[in-house]
Structure formats: C-alpha cells, structure tokens
Amino acid sequence: MSSPEAVRVGVIGLGAMGAAHVETLERWVPGASVAQVFDVDVGRARAIGERCGAAVAASAEELIASAGVDAVLVAAPDPLHESLALTCLAADKPTLLEKPIATTPEGARRVVEAEVAGGRRLIQLGFMRRFDPAYVDLREAVAGGAVGTVRAVHCVHRNAQAHPSHTSDSVLVNSMIHELDCVPWLLDDPLTSVTVFASRVGAGALEDLQVAVLETRGGVVVTVEVYVNARYGYDIHTEIVGTAGTVSLTPPYGVSVRRGLSDTAGVDGRVVDGGWTSRFLDAYRIELGAWIDGIRSGRPVGPSAWDGHLADLAAFAAVASRQGGGRVTIPQEECPELYA
C-alpha cells in the first residue's frame, strides 16, 4: 500500500523487530514503500525482500548511500547503532533508529554532536511507547491534574525469556531504557539519580531481575522492575501515584497467578517474537506513520537523538550503580538549540 511519491525506505537488520517494521511499513503506512533491505543473514534478507518487492543490498553502507533510498530504518544489533547512525547522518538521510542510540555514553554524544553539526534533525529514536495510545492517555491524565501532584511512579517490565544477546548491563541499556525514556516524558520531569538492586543469582549468571529506584528533579520517587526471564509472558505495567489519586495502565484486578509452562519457552531456545511487537502493535504503526509524515512534511516528530542521549545517560548511571556505585547522580546537560 503506497502512494505515488512514497518515501522509499531502506531497512537494516531483519530480526524480529526489523521484520515487524517491514510489515508495518508495507501494510499500515501508505506514504512509505520498502525499497531495500539488508541483513547479514542473506537468505533471510532475500526471503523478506522477495515478499515485499524490495531489493537486497550488499551491505548496510551500500543501502544508506543508495540514491533509491530516501530514508533508513535501523533495527540492527545494538552495538551497530552508533556507527550506522553516523553513516546515515553523513549521507543526510532521515533515520528511524532503534534504541539505544549507542552502547556507550560517549557514542551517544558523538551521534548528537554529528546531528547538531549538520544543523537539522534527521534521527527519530525508536521509543515506541511515546506513541502507544495508553501511554499517551496516561501522560494527558497527569498533565490534566487527574492525580494531583505526582509523588511516585511504579513500573514493571517483564519479558518471557531473555534474548540470547542479553547481558546484565543490557537489562538496563536495552530493556529498562524504555522506562528511562518514558517516565521523564510522562511527567515532564527529568531523572536525577538512580540506585539499582539486582536479585542475587549464581556467579557469572545473567542478573535478569533488576530493580531501579530513581528520583526526579521534581522530587518524584520512581521504581522500575525489569525481569527478562519472567516465563509467563510479556507484561508491562505503569502506575502514577499523586496527592489526589492514582492512574494506571491497567484496571485493578484480584489475585491472579500467571506461570510459564516450562523452563524452555521459545522456539529451539531462540526468542522469535518477544511479545512486544504484539503488545505495542498500535504504537509501532503510529510511530512509523508519524516518522514518514514528518519526513514528507519536513517537520520531524517524536523522540530525538537528544532523548536517546538522555536515556543513555540514565542507563549508564544505572549500570554504574549496579556495579557497586550505590546511588548514582544522573548528569544534567544543557539541551542544544536544535532540540529545544
């Protein structure tokens, strides 16, 4: 489904997320067409390219440089985000970059500096929760004073099974980063400190359940539990408590027990779809629609590279805390003019 002057998108990385983005663009974003795809797994790239009528690029760099690609969607593994973002900026291509913006705080700063030097916003960060209708309602409820002055936020973020690439650090930098982005956005109040507690596991094992206690500039206390091997399913919860009441993503319920069927969830030990592509289906559709509309109108929308940088600052403060740093102050930086 695409209009005559559709934005020709090149998609880099065709794992569960990239493949879902290809399908979303094809089925739900009329202003876009998937023109090229790239994945290190050539067979997978060919199969997806054939299905959507897209050419298969020989490399990510070739795809980015191609005159047949107007905009790039990066869903490659996290360690490649920084270099691909820099290549897209150098090629002057609007880019939807999956989170995190980079896997080091210095890398995140390099991406922001390159975009600022170019003088225009080209990157939209893949923080899809900002487009999720329930999260948008939550934010509006808080802004409209539904709960009075906010005192606390409680978040739960559970995955059925950890992605094989997960490390104790990426539980924070890849998973909790969603809350580190969306809580300040929900409250319009930046995070200022973080203390992380990890549930004890055997020596060398993945610290798969971690709880962060954060503070905001406005004095709100935030708790976030991330558990990436929860077995029973994908479960996202956010509650905001204020002086006049509480607002929550889900309705109140009685006692319920939810269990995983066995210790071998997933297919052949591989995570095929972690559950977020269905829970956030609407969010992804709206996110990609807004990205393409922004490109067509020349007015970028949604979370920026600066938002990605702020989330990375919080995530790496959280890593330092978990590694023994106790309560860690999250650096506060002046927002460059480009993002004001």
Q: Which residues bind ligand ISE (CB under 6 A)?
A: 159, 163, 174-175, 178, 228, 274, 276
Q: What is the dihedral of CA 222, 205, 77, 236, to 10 degrees?
A: -40
| Contacts for 124 with CB less than 8 Å, ≥ 6 apart | 94, 95, 96, 97, 291, 294, 300, 301, 302, 303, 304
Q: Which is nearer to ligand ISE, 18 or 94 (CB)?
A: 18
Q: How far is the CB of 275 from ligand ISE (least distance, A)?
A: 8
Q: Which contiguous run of DSSP H or E holds residue 129?
A: none
Q: Which of 129, 135, 128 is nearest to 250 (CA)?
A: 135
Q: Which is nearer to ligand ISE, 114 or 171 (CB)?
A: 171
Q: How far is the CB of 321 from ligand ISE (least distance, A)?
A: 19
Contact in structure between 52 and 35 (CB atoms under 8 Å):
no
Q: Which is nearer to ligand ISE, 283 or 328 (CB)?
A: 283
Q: How far is the CB of 244 from ligand ISE (least distance, A)?
A: 31
Contact in structure between 284 and 277 (CB atoms under 8 Å):
yes
Q: How far is the CB of 17 from ligand ISE (least distance, A)?
A: 7
| Contacts for 128 with CB less than 8 Å, ≥ 6 apart | 280, 283, 284, 287
> Which three-class secondary structure state does DSSP give residue 249?
coil
Q: Which is nearer to ligand ISE, 276 or 306 (CB)?
A: 276
Q: Which is nearer to ligand ISE, 156 or 328 (CB)?
A: 156
Q: What residue is closest to ligand ISE based on CB? A: 175
Q: Which is nearer to ligand ISE, 185 or 276 (CB)?
A: 276
Which amino acid is located at 331 in the chain?
Answer: P
Q: Which is nearer to ligand ISE, 60 or 172 (CB)?
A: 172
Contact in structure between 176 and 157 (CB atoms under 8 Å):
yes
Identify the burial level of 261 via C-beta atoms within 10 angstroms of its C-beta, where 0-12 means exposed, 13-18 middle and 19 or more buried: exposed
Residue 20, phi-psi category: left (phi > 0), alpha (psi -120 to 50), beta (remainder): alpha
Q: How far is the CB of 205 from ligand ISE (least distance, A)?
A: 18
Q: How far is the CB of 208 from ligand ISE (least distance, A)?
A: 11
Whole-angstrom distance, CA of residue 319 vs CA of residue 195: 9
Q: How far is the CB of 277 from ligand ISE (least distance, A)?
A: 9
